[in-house]
Structure 1
Amino acid sequence: MTLFVDITADEERGGQPGAEKTDTRSRWRTIALQVGLPLLSLVLFLVVWQLIAISGVWTETFVPRLGTVWQAFVDMSTTHDGVIGYAGYYWWEHLYMTLRRVLLGVVIGVAAGVLLGLVMGSIPWVRRLLEPWLTFLRALPPLAYFFLLVIWLGIDEAPKVTLLALAALPPAAVATTAAVGAAPVALVEAARALGASRREVITDVVVPAALPETFTGIRLSVGIAYSSVVAAELFNGIPGIGGVVKDASNYNNTPVVLVGIALIGLSGLIIDAVLRVIEHRTVPWRGKA
């Protein structure tokens, strides 16, 4: 009788017996898959790397042991033999300078790309006029025009930021152009029928409809700009992670190169995760409308 009353009360509260335990187990299983599998893949990668390193198939110059790489990271984090970190800067100072350059370049490139995409998506003749140039720029690898930027702008910060901005512009512009062109015609016509002006149609209908794809373009822009960091820091790139990688490679200092690559990759993962959170909060209707 008591069991019957407990079950009935639980059902009256809108749940079923054991539903909360099932939800908890499902939640923990999801977390385990999302966190455990990436960690497992990382551990397996490190184990395979260490096995190859100690096997002697390649020399330490090509595949250094994990302990050697860790020591390079420690050296970049401390003052040793009178030397501060690497080339007079700690690794976080190098990373800060790289992130600052990326931020400036991405903000300029994305802002210009989104604005250009809105214009190209809204005005057909502008799209026909500018699309070939945009495709031309998108097809160029960063190194192809970086040396020209150095000739024009010198070797200080201007060519680096300009290179990152030019790398970030095309993906944002292309994604925004396509998103604006794919805005629901029914909603646009309905807004016009209700007396909305052209500006109101763009701001209240077209832009919200284009935001999901625009965010995808922004994430691509950040990724492409970040992958161009080493190219952007070829000249006078220290302090900067790309400059560290380039300088260390000149001396076959593989452990430092690997530390630089790891820092670039991990910071890139964090940046992408932040962009995902911003996208989720800014465009909560994605996939629901």
Structure 2
Amino acid sequence: MNVKQSKNPFEITLTLLTWLIVIVLWFIFTNVGEMSSLLLPSPQVVWETFMNIVKNGYGNVSLWQHLSDSFVRLFWAVSLAFITAVPLGLLSGYFSKFKAIVDSIVQFYRPIPPLAYYALLILWMGIDDGSKVTLLYLAAFAPIYIACVAAVNSVSQDYILSSKSLGASQKDVFLKVVLPACMPDIFTGLRTAMGFAYTTLVAAEMTAATSGIGWMVIDASRYLRSDVMFVGIIIMGVTGIMMDGGLLLLENKFVFWKGKD
């Protein structure tokens, strides 16, 4: 059975209609009601602020530079997390002794809020991007690692035993049976990790930073610039959807066997 995630035209229409209703209610509530623009700016104000930031930037930094700085930090961190968490997670799921070494460390730091150890990272690595990338890396590593371990544990033993009965070595079983079977869960873990890292981005950019979308939102909050905060939040939401959609496209292209028996 093919269970690839795809929306038919009716579902797309429902999604667009939902957001249209949200925007209309937002417009009515801020233009007819007595809500202060300081608390909830109207769509017109947010749009004007967005256009102003596009033209003039924010904090003497262009919008494109804010986006570039944030995404460079994010993609470096997630890329490093992916290339380290996937092999460690697969090996931990495949070899119980390896899991005994790695798993407890991951499970120890995973529940700790990022801000709890961010100050330590700054003390150890300074205020440059190194500490920020490391914070995002730690946020992204755990979801990918856990997804890989769970994926290996969910591989059907029938596949493994059948391949061994046909003469496959342990290396062949791992590379040609276990790894392809784990790819759908690996992509799910990557999508989750991207979301966690993106939410941590605000925490990473709120200390000793002068650029980035997260910094823009935090800086605007200091001056009660709710219009700028809304612009930053909307940008983060839209770009987050775009990144997740891009990962879904890659998954559908390279993991074409997902959902097929």
Residue 281 of structure 1: aligned partner: 253
Deviation (angstroms), 1:264: 0.6
Residue 37 of structure 1: aligned partner: 14
Compare relative contact order (CA 8 Å, sep 6+) and give the higher one, 1 or 2. 2
Matches of 2:19 and 2:132 in 1, distance apart?
32
Residue 101 of structure 2: aligned partner: 129
Residue 46 of structure 1: aligned partner: 23
Deviation (angstroms), 1:202: 0.4
- Deviation string 1:99-143 (CA, Å, 9 cap, x unpaired) is 111100000112211111011011112223332321222212221
Secondary structure of 2:91's partner? helix
Is 2:223 the partner of 1:251? yes
Matches of 2:79 and 2:160 in 1, distance apart?
30
Residue 76 of structure 1: aligned partner: 53
Matches of 1:133 and 1:151 in 2, distance apart?
22
Residue 3 of structure 1: aligned partner: none
Q: Which runs of 5+ in 1 are unaligned?
A: 1-28, 80-84
- Deviation string 1:131-162 (CA, Å, 9 cap, x unpaired) is 23212222122212111111111111001110
Matches of 2:72 and 2:182 in 1, distance apart?
28
Is 2:148 the partner of 1:215? no
Is 2:84 the partner of 1:115? no
Contact 1:117 1:177 (8 Å CA) reproduced: yes
Matches of 1:238 and 1:40 in 2, distance apart?
38
Deviation (angstroms), 1:171: 0.6
Matches of 1:77 and 1:214 in 2, distance apart?
36
Taking every aligned residue pair, what percent have the same amino acid on both sides? Answer: 35
Secondary structure of 1:235's partner? coil
**TM-score, normalised with respect to structure 1:** 0.84
Residue 190 of structure 1: aligned partner: 162
Residue 11 of structure 1: aligned partner: none
Identify the match of residue 63 of structure 2 among 87, 91, 96: 91
Residue 9 of structure 1: aligned partner: none
Matches of 1:46 and 1:92 in 2, distance apart?
25
Deviation (angstroms), 1:204: 0.6
Contact 1:223 1:268 (8 Å CA) reproduced: yes
Larger Rg: 1
Matches of 1:278 and 1:72 in 2, distance apart?
34
- Deviation string 1:234-288 (CA, Å, 9 cap, x unpaired) is 1233321001001111100000000000111100100000100100111111111
Give the partner amino acid of 1:40: L
Secondary structure of 2:135's partner? helix
Deviation (angstroms), 1:56: 4.5
Identify the match of residue 237 of structure 2 among 258, 265, 273: 265
Residue 141 of structure 1: aligned partner: 113
Give the partner amino acid of 1:199: K
Is 2:215 the partner of 1:237? no
Matches of 2:51 and 2:227 in 1, distance apart?
11
Matches of 1:169 and 1:147 in 2, distance apart?
19
Q: Which runs of 5+ in 2 are unaligned?
A: 1-6
Secondary structure of 1:78's partner? helix
Deviation (angstroms), 1:46: 1.4
Give the partner amino acid of 2:8: T
